[in-house]
Structure 1
Amino acid sequence: MAAGQPSSAASARSAEPESLWTLFRVVFALSALSWGGLALMAQLELHYVERERRFTQAVYSDFVALSWMVPGAVGCNVAVQVGYALRGRIGAWIAGIAAVLPFFCTMTAFATFYEAPFVRSLAAPGLIDHFAIVLAVLIGITWYRQTRVLVNAPLEWAAAAIACLVLLTIQGTAAFVLLLAGSFATGWIASPARGARLAISLSRADKAIVLTFVTLVALFAAPVPSSYAAHLIWPRLAGAGVTLFGGGFSALPVLKTLFEAPGLGITAREFTLAFTLSPVSPGPLLNVVPFLGYLVQGWIGAVAATCALFIPSGMLIVFARRHLRRLEAHERFEHGMRVLRATTTAFLLTAVVRIAERTPHEAPYLVTAVFALVCLARFKLPVYAVYAVVALVFTAAHALGYR
């Protein structure tokens, strides 16, 4: 009898509806203690699958699979699905806000005290270059791991190689959108499955959502005169959010194109600083957005940037959730998504190349690269610990007169 009590208690607990306050509190706490989207996914699984038994492992695996299929921060996408499954649309909003709020506060605080000695010391030119090297190594490791998982078939390798050439030679937001659309279309056409139709019935509200997404993507892709770049930054950022597959690092070239535009006042060094501070804060690597938004328009910009990037992907994950079974069962759709995922690995490699182009090719930076590679790939140290060691060595070297 005693052996059955825990199971009965767990069943009773899973049958009770999750209160909105409990949902917010749990997701907020887990997000605040999660460095990176994958960490948040693991924490949510531990709490809602292993401890609370709210979901089976199979159901939670569906959450993760769908989160990789749609754009946006994967960890936040999973949190939104958890909230939607527990309390419907209001639960999705509550869980989404709770997942975003911790890193929004942290990164906005960094931006608020950007002129403070501590943050300014992080922005010292030489230290930023060393931090950028660590960031490039981290992105390179992520690229290697994603390539091993996502790039297998000859078509996927060809898509990844072509995407690298396009991203390294062509600048502009239209290239990003056309590249992603072309990759999915190629996978769809090349799929061995034939004859299956993707039949999805849409309500009037669903059609309005789809039309809004298409409009935002078109605005993001369209060439905008520099005089209008600052006025349209938030709707264009929302359009970019609907195209950001492959995790936070793949967003670096896209966000760089948007935020380093004339009229916004963000320099290349400030943009690099935002990404180097990103792993110090909890949350996915897209937590740079509040920092960049604050530099553009203060607190209003931080809120606008966060809403513009995360609300569309949250709405899209709920939309996709309702039509999940048809999408999962459609072989041509899944084949198109595989080629699309392979293409997104090129964004990571492009980010490494762009960082390498801007940093000095000198012996101290090579030492930093080797040190970061050993710490991150061999010993699995958290990136903020590597940043701390690099900062201490850099400070000590300057104190001893080395430049």
Structure 2
Amino acid sequence: MHMTTTREATRLGEREPLWTLFRVVCGLSALSWGGLALMAQLEHHYVEREERLSRLAFSDLIALAWMVPGPVGCNVAVQLGHTLRGRAGAWVAGIASVLPFFMLMTLFAIFYRTPLIRAAASETLLNHFSVVLATLIAVTWYKQTRALVRGRLEWSVAVLACIALFFAHSPAAYVVILGSAFASGWVTSPVQKARLEISVGSGDRQLLLWLGVLVVLFAVPLPHDYELALLWPRLAGAGMTLFGGGFSALPVLKTLFVTPAIGVSDNDFTLAFSLSPLSPGPLLNVIPFFGYLIDGWVGALIATVALFVPSGCLVVLAQRHLYQLKTHPRFEHGMRVLRAVTTAFLAVAVLKIGYRVPLQPVYLVTALFSLVCFAKLRLPVYAVYGTVGLACGLWLVYRHIV
């Protein structure tokens, strides 16, 4: 036991080369479908294999990643890089975790704009993929609800959030709902006298101020002439409202992108989210796709930076104050209620996707097939999409021949 502890301490004292950090994180990200898969592979490599971090230290990184907005897997990678090599390591690990799906989703957007792909993406295929997406979100909602929504307060705010989100049509509503949820958890905490004392430097205060400005810019209604001009700062602000995984981002990002001023159609938006599980990375890998549709390669790059960089900066800032945040009961209670509200985003996403799909027996069969694959057989997402796409293609060919 003593020898293991000594060896681990030695490994922790070594400096991870930046190129090695980039190569490892990029390789693991390219083989990770979803943020949870990336976290598992990072833990296996740096905790079990290389012994760079203790299991307890890595669990702290995961816990903090769930507490801040943004993609959880990428947030863990950023923290890992910061732990191993400081600020430079955070940037290197963050870029490495984003690069694989940035390239793949941008390439998909390029080919998506060709006439061949446009013709292949028929309305029937889009509807079937939408059903698969809705089923996947529904299964995710069920799992998250069982894990996050337990007490009477959590259930109450989750139900109220569902009702509010269903009728919400502005970004301000999402900010108000999330802020109200955290405030209700803070106020109703069983421990009322605890004080949150954190010493924040001038640089950190400026960062928090700018992040707050971005959130306000996202929430405030703008004239149509300014929606496109301020799209990327508003996207950065939207990223500060995304808790609970990529599926919860669907209604938020739809409000931002599917407008006459931006030009992303409802079919383009749904297809991007439907196919996002086919690419490595978190479900927020759709961002480069939308960016490319709006402004080519430059748009894909700026959109990716706008969404992923602010949350990465915030999680590094929070990591420096991890102990105070974890041990403060009122803050933790507020986060519990906030996490419960994020399940409402998933429920509303299922309702809105299902509302668009025609109520026909063939789509109900696809829903039942997807439910069995995801909930019982636990098949990979790409296998389900591939099977449904192949079956739909054969059916369309058969109908054309007959």
Asked if structure 2 preserves the Cα contact closer than 8 Å seen for 1:290 and 1:301, the reply is yes
Alignment of 1:68-147 (within 5 A): 68-116=66-114, 119-120=117-118, 123-147=121-145
Question: 2: distance between equivalents of 1:241 and 1:122?
Answer: 32
Asked if structure 2 preserves the Cα contact closer than 8 Å seen for 1:186 and 1:336, the reply is yes
For 1:184, the equivalent position in structure 2 comes to: 182
Q: Which moved more, 1:310-319 or 1:115-124?
A: 115-124
Q: List gaps (5 residues or longer) in structure 2.
A: none
In the alignment, is residue 251 of structure 1 matched against residue 238 of structure 2? no
1:380 to 378, 381, 384: 378
In structure 2, give the amino acid aligned to 1:240: A
How much has 1:283 moved relative to structure 2?
0.1
For 1:344, the equivalent position in structure 2 comes to: 342
Asked if structure 2 preserves the Cα contact closer than 8 Å seen for 1:229 and 1:262, the reply is no
1:362 to 343, 360, 363: 360
For 1:151, the equivalent position in structure 2 comes to: 149
Alpha carbons of structure 1 residues 111 and 4: separation in structure 2 relative to 1, 3 Å: same
Question: 1: distance between equivalents of 2:2 and 2:345?
Answer: 51
Residue deviations 1:170-195, cap 9 Å, x none? 21100000000000000000001021
Question: 2: distance between equivalents of 1:165 and 1:117?
Answer: 40
Q: List gaps (5 residues or longer) in structure 1.
A: none
In structure 1, give the amino acid aligned to 2:14: E
Residue deviations 1:180-214, cap 9 Å, x none? 00000000000010211111121110110011011
Question: 2: distance between equivalents of 1:198 and 1:180?
Answer: 20
How much has 1:259 moved relative to structure 2?
0.3
For 1:396, the equivalent position in structure 2 comes to: 394
Residue deviations 1:72-109, cap 9 Å, x none? 00000000010000000110000000000000000000
For 1:43, the equivalent position in structure 2 comes to: 41
For 1:200, the equivalent position in structure 2 comes to: 198
Alignment of 1:203-222 (within 5 A): 203-222=201-220
Asked if structure 2 preserves the Cα contact closer than 8 Å seen for 1:217 and 1:236, the reply is yes
How much has 1:240 moved relative to structure 2?
0.5
For 1:21, the equivalent position in structure 2 comes to: 19
Q: What TM-score, normalized to structure 1?
A: 0.97
For 1:319, the equivalent position in structure 2 comes to: 317
For 2:227, the equivalent position in structure 1 comes to: 229
Asked if structure 2 preserves the Cα contact closer than 8 Å seen for 1:136 and 1:352, the reply is yes
How much has 1:326 moved relative to structure 2?
0.8
Question: 1: distance between equivalents of 2:20 and 2:119?
Answer: 39
Asked if structure 2 preserves the Cα contact closer than 8 Å seen for 1:14 and 1:52, the reply is no
Asked if structure 2 preserves the Cα contact closer than 8 Å seen for 1:40 and 1:75, the reply is yes
Question: 1: distance between equivalents of 2:387 and 2:285?
Answer: 23
Q: Secondary structure at the match of 1:401?
A: helix
Question: 2: distance between equivalents of 1:120 and 1:4?
Answer: 63
Question: 2: distance between equivalents of 1:109 and 1:121?
Answer: 18
Alpha carbons of structure 1 residues 338 and 125: separation in structure 2 relative to 1, 3 Å: same
How much has 1:338 moved relative to structure 2?
0.3
Question: 2: distance between equivalents of 1:286 and 1:123?
Answer: 21
For 1:264, the equivalent position in structure 2 comes to: 262
Q: What TM-score, normalized to structure 2?
A: 0.97
In structure 1, give the amino acid aligned to 2:28: L
**CA RMSD across the alignment:** 1.6
How much has 1:311 moved relative to structure 2?
0.3
In structure 2, give the amino acid aligned to 1:134: V
**Percent sequence identity over matched residues?**
58
Question: 1: distance between equivalents of 2:205 and 2:372?
Answer: 50
In structure 1, give the amino acid aligned to 2:157: A
Asked if structure 2 preserves the Cα contact closer than 8 Å seen for 1:122 and 1:128, the reply is no
Alpha carbons of structure 1 residues 323 and 6: separation in structure 2 relative to 1, 3 Å: closer
1:275 to 256, 273, 276: 273
Question: 2: distance between equivalents of 1:173 and 1:117?
Answer: 34
Q: Secondary structure at the match of 1:113?
A: helix
Question: 1: distance between equivalents of 2:173 and 2:8?
Answer: 51
Asked if structure 2 preserves the Cα contact closer than 8 Å seen for 1:40 and 1:283, the reply is yes
Alpha carbons of structure 1 residues 364 and 162: separation in structure 2 relative to 1, 3 Å: same
For 1:34, the equivalent position in structure 2 comes to: 32
